[in-house]
Amino acid sequence: MTGKRQVGMIVGIIGATGYTGSELVRLLLGHPAITGFSLASVSHKGSRIEQIYPHFLKLLSAPLKEAEDVIAESALVFAALPTGVGEEYARLCFDKGVPYIDLSADFRFGGDEQTYEAWYGKRYRYPDLHDVSVYGLPELNRERIRGARIIGNPGCYPTGSALGVLPALAHGIAKGAPLIIDAASGITGGGREPAPAYHYPQAADSLTPYKVGSHRHIPEISRTLALCAGKAVPVIFTPHLAPMNRGILSTIYVPLSEEWQVQSSDTAFRFPPSPLIHEKAGAIRGCYEDFYRNEAFVRILPDGLSAATNRVRASNFCDISIHLDASGSTLIVVSAIDNMVKGACGQAIQNMNILFGFDEKAGLSGVPSSF
């Protein structure tokens, strides 16, 4: 970027009437530097945002325009579009010098077109844009985000998974064996026009695994962890659909390196667990606290408290709790995020704040709702 705007920004949102687009509007309404919105929607062009989402009445009245008009009048553009749709808008923004934050998978793989094509069945139209794009996980890539012109906002599952594992990789706590990630997401992850499995009669009162062994977030999770570890990190990932509107809870099983295992023959599956296990868990928790010491939105929970989605609802927080199995050989990390906020829109705004030199917490300081 050339020069940073500090106040009075008009932000553009392409795809403003989907769940993600409307959540961006909701959060940005509380941002002190944002004074106007330019909104685009293909499906509702000509209407106004408050007609589609009446909860914006008396808070925002804005027409829904063509995407090209939004790009022409905005200081920054968020794209809340299906994967494979936004590249043309990224091209227009890049050529006009307008920063572009993409919330689809289009810019999450940098120049690795082969992986993107293998998992999404699409090829890059503008490879040069991908070569300069930055993966927008602030806790890993903050310095690169500061100078980015195109940011690929991380996926929701990869965010909860990566934040739960990065310290274990950075401190050599994790062994080289595969990490096992079981994660459950709320129904809003299916979007405003969901597949039949996401409708209430199908999703209520049922916890359902889906895309077992083949979910598109697997390569993104692996790639992110490899960036931290400096080598490939095998991952076994299974997503589940949970009967709740919001949230992702990830339970991550991390085989411990020999240095971090509890080295005592009498601890195997002993109950109550040996004090050595409690001591080792405390040491690992200390490593996590140190890793995230300066991160405003990551909370390492105290001993005895497990991460839960209801304590991060509607917030940009990621809560992480640390546990060891009874044998002392496996670290169990539980992370909780709101899939619509830290898993999507809040993280996109956090990236905007870094990019423009705003307070990183601007627009994101709301207290979580626990019920």
Q: What stretches in the chain show pLDDT beneath 50?
A: 1-3
* pLDDT recorded at residue 77: 98
* pLDDT recorded at residue 180: 97
Whose CA is closest to 168, among 336, 322, 302, 328?
Answer: 322
* pLDDT recorded at residue 2: 39
* Residues whose CB falls within 8 Å of the CB of residue 95, separated by 6 or more in sequence, listed in order: none
Residue 45 φ then ψ, to 5°: -55, 135
* Residues whose CB falls within 8 Å of the CB of residue 25, separated by 6 or more in sequence, listed in order: 13, 16, 37, 39, 49, 53, 56, 60
Q: Which CATH architecture fits 157-338?
A: 2-Layer Sandwich (3.30)
The H-assigned helical ranges of the chain are 19-28, 49-52, 67-73, 87-96, 113-120, 127-132, 138-146, 156-170, 200-203, 217-229, 275-291, 346-356
Does this model's pTM top 0.85? My answer is yes
Q: pLDDT tens across 192-243, in order?
A: 666 777 777 777 888 999 999 999 999 999 999 998 888 999 999 999 999 9
* Residues whose CB falls within 8 Å of the CB of residue 5, separated by 6 or more in sequence, listed in order: 33, 75, 356
Is residue 274 within 8 Å of residue 267, measured between CB atoms? yes
Q: In which order are the strands placed within the sheet that holds 150-152?
A: 64-65, 34-40, 9-14, 76-79, 100-102, 150-152, 134-135
Is residue 306 within 8 Å of residue 251, measured between CB atoms? no
* Residues whose CB falls within 8 Å of the CB of residue 49, separated by 6 or more in sequence, listed in order: 16, 17, 22, 25, 37, 39, 56, 60, 61, 62, 64
Domain ranges of the chain: 9-132, 157-338
β-strand partners of 100: 77, 150
Q: Using DSSP bridges, classify how beta strands 9-14 and 76-79 pair: parallel, antiparallel or unpaired.
A: parallel
* pLDDT recorded at residue 1: 44
The DSSP letter of residue 48 is: B
Considering the candidates 156, 228, 287, 318, report the single residue annotated as catalytic.
Answer: 156
β-strand partners of 208: 241
Q: Do domains 9-132 and 157-338 have the same CATH topology?
A: no
Q: Is 156 known to be catalytic?
A: yes
The Cα–Cα gap between 12 and 269 comes to 55
Whose CA is closest to 220, among 152, 288, 278?
Answer: 152
β-strand partners of 300: 320
Superfamily per CATH, domain 9-132 = NAD(P)-binding Rossmann-like Domain (3.40.50.720)
Sign of the torsion formed by the C-alpha atoms of 157, 189, 112 and 150: negative
The Cα–Cα gap between 337 and 312 comes to 6
